[in-house]
Amino acid sequence: MKAGIIFTGTGPILVLTSYEAFNDAKFVEKLARKGIMKFIAYELDLDQVKNKYGGQYDTIVNDVKQEDDLRVLDYNGHNVFYNFAFSEMGPAIMHE
């Protein structure tokens, strides 16, 4: 399981996924089907996300399949942006 912030044209979202990487072709395809063709992704520490989101995290993670799945944990861009420091984000993964 991976957690990450995905910066899109409409703002950041926080996602949980069972894909191996945010540049995995199937992950990119899944985002494209949701209308996200261009993005910058930053991986986050899963334990840190769990601590910050508590019960909301538990609810969403229980809904994520073991393979090839994606769930939005938080779509409030303001909340996502200010919940994590830049120093808590992994290297940028860009797709266009």
Q: What is the mean pLDDT of the chain?
A: 91
Instruction: Tell me: pLDDT of 68 over 60.
Output: no
CA–CA distance, 68 with 45 (Å, rounded to integer): 19
Q: Which runs of E-coded beta strand occur in the chain?
A: 2-8, 11-17, 39-44, 70-74, 92-95
pLDDT band at 65 (very low <50, low <70, confident <90, very high): low
42 close to 90: Cβ distance less than 8 angstroms = yes
80 close to 14: Cβ distance less than 8 angstroms = yes
What's the structural domain count of the chain?
Answer: 1
CA–CA distance, 81 with 18 (Å, rounded to integer): 22
Host domain of residue 80:
2-95
CA–CA distance, 16 with 60 (Å, rounded to integer): 8
pLDDT digit string (tens) for 4-56?
Answer: 999 999 999 999 998 999 999 999 999 999 999 999 999 999 999 999 998 88
